[in-house]
Amino acid sequence: MARRCEGWSTSALRSSGPGKGILFAIDEAQSASIEELAALAVLYQQVLGDQDATGLPDSDQRGLALVFAGLPSMVDDCSKSRA
């Protein structure tokens, strides 16, 4: 699934104009597993890497943003899992 999402997001970014991009809004993030969140982070980095590889100046590149909404305890849970 991550590969399919990577292809879609890279394609969508290419077809958008300068100053535009994609916003991924994730609600109820506490319901996602650490593995799912890690896969999303890897996808995000790969798509940004593809953008950097274009050689375009930053002002001409497309934006990609992640927004998470979840319970405040999620921050503590994530911190504890890394310890």
Alpha-carbon distance of 55 to 40, in angstroms, equals 24
pLDDT for residue 8: 66
Q: Which of 67, 66, 15, 60 is nearest to 44 (CA)?
A: 66
Average pLDDT, the chain: 75
The amino acid occupying position 79 is: S
Share of the chain above pLDDT 70, in %: 70
